Structure 1
Amino acid sequence: MFGTSIKKLFFDQRTLLIRRRYKHQHSSNGPIQMDIVQKRKVLAQFKDKAEVTVYDRQSSRTHFRWGPWVAGGQMLMWINFADFYWRYSMDKDEETGELHISPAWKRACTAGIALVAGLAVGGGVLHYISRSVARMQIIDGGQMVRLETYKFSGRGTKTKVVPIAGMFSRDKLYTGEGPNGVTKAKSSQYSIYASRQSNYAYIMSRSGAFRDPRAFDVLFHRAIAPDRK
């Protein structure tokens, strides 16, 4: 009888292990990225609250007022480069060794590349400003998120409200390092997407004030976008 009990216990444990392994390997979403129970517990703290600030950059709303000047300066510099290439770009004659003005098509191409570079650099600066988050709030009892981002001008902010269910980040916020536990070597930024259709992430500074970094990861950290396999 004792041997039968040992044998039964062994097979019961083995069956349980196989079931757990099968459930893990054949889950429709692959390996579990987020514990549903933990997520519900985190959201419960917002249930009866109109709005809760979960991130604040703690800087003035004119923090990026230098942005348009930098973008304008870059454009002016590359326009001057384009003008120089158009006016003075030279080719060397292989037979005589003399220099002569380059063909118009060649000068136009070189000047065009300079103009595109200026637009890319200047536009990139303004785009970075517009995707930088000044404040993030969870509103409507935990159903929606209000993102407050900087304007292109760097003076003032604009707001956007998105469903919390669609937001995700492939980056983990909590690292356990630094005074607030969010310091990350070689990176001062944390990126988060508003939805799975988003092509560009919103940017948060890790030096800002996060209400609860661990809860942040429970809500938003996912290896893949929601509903995407």
Structure 2
Amino acid sequence: MLGASIKRLFLDRGSLLTRRRHRHHGAGSGPIQMDIVQKRKALAQFRDKASVTVYDRQSSRKHFAWGPWVAGGQMLMWINFADFYWRYSMDKDEETGELHLSPAWKRACTAGIALVAGLAVGGGVLHYISRSVARMQVIDGGQMVRLETYGISGRSTKTKVVPIAGMFSRDRLYTGEGPQGVTKAKSSQYSIYATRQSNFAYILSRSGSFRDPKAFDILFHRAVVPSKG
């Protein structure tokens, strides 16, 4: 009698633990399974299609023709600053109050900082242009993405093809605001990474044309950023 009671007690506890595990497993896998289902549905629109344009900036491919001129102007300006500092940087003598040319090492450091600043500003302009996307297409039945970005010359574009599975964004595209529902206060840009190993994002303009912003988020938005490992 006592043995049967103990056996029943352990069986009940085991059943309770089993139910708890199932509930825990269901709670953890439910959203994940739902994400998988949503992504499969979103990818279904590209099945059996060679190419589908999901984003187009709808501007001239010479949109950034001004870029090299701005970058060159910045570099030239800072080179002139460097030359000025090297030639005319002065120090004041604390005893006599007279001005005299600064030591060579000091002028070289100041001029060097100006040169680095010019390269950083000018290079930053060109880098921004090279990461700006003119058109984004899903190809190969939803397996790959073709990114058409602007060249640093500002008068051409270049193309890169990456697997769609590795692409992700830390930001949501759909906001519910504006004509397409992608307008975001204080930000006209949407950033997306091509692979988990990417250190720099590609930049899409929110004023461009998006085929389906909600599907865009289903495919690319990640609440937890994938590990690079």
* Superposed pair shares fold, TM > 0.5: yes
**Which structure 2 residues correspond to residues 71-220 of structure 1 after superposition, within 5 A?**
71-220=71-220
Quickly say closer, same or farther: Cα 1:95–1:147, change in 2 above 3 A.
same
- Structure having the higher helix fraction is 2
In 2, distance between residues paired with 1:20 and 1:154? 57
Structure 1 residue 64 and structure 2 residue 60: aligned? no
Q: 1:32 to 1:111 in 2, by over 3 A?
A: farther
Rg larger for: 2
| Pair 184,95 (structure 1): closer, same or farther in 2 beyond 3 Å | same
In structure 1, the residue corresponding to 2:149 is in which secondary structure?
A: strand
1-structure distance, mates of 2:170, 2:123: 25
Tell me how far apart the structure 1 counterparts of residues 218 and 150 of structure 2 sit (CA, whole Å).
26
Name the SS of the counterpart of 2:136 in structure 1.
strand
What is the distance in 2 between the residues matched to 1:49 and 1:69? 40
Counterparts of 1:140 and 1:183, CA distance in 2: 30
Q: Please give the TM-score of this superposition, normalised by the length of structure 1.
A: 0.87
State the alpha-carbon separation in 2 of the partners of residues 180 and 198 from structure 1: 28
Q: Residues 188 and 20 (structure 1 numbering): CA distance in 2 closer, same or farther, change over 3 Å?
A: farther
Query: TM-score w.r.t. structure 2 length?
Result: 0.87
| Structure 2 counterpart SS, 1:185 | coil
Contact 2:197 2:228 in 1 (8 A): no
2:5 maps to none
Q: Could you list the runs of 5+ residues in structure 2 that have no partner in the other structure?
A: 1-14
CA contact (8 A) 1:56 1:136 kept: yes
Offset at residue 95 of structure 1 (A): 1.2
How many residues align? The count is 214
How far apart are residue 23 of structure 1 and its match? 4.9
What letter is aligned with 1:209?
Answer: S
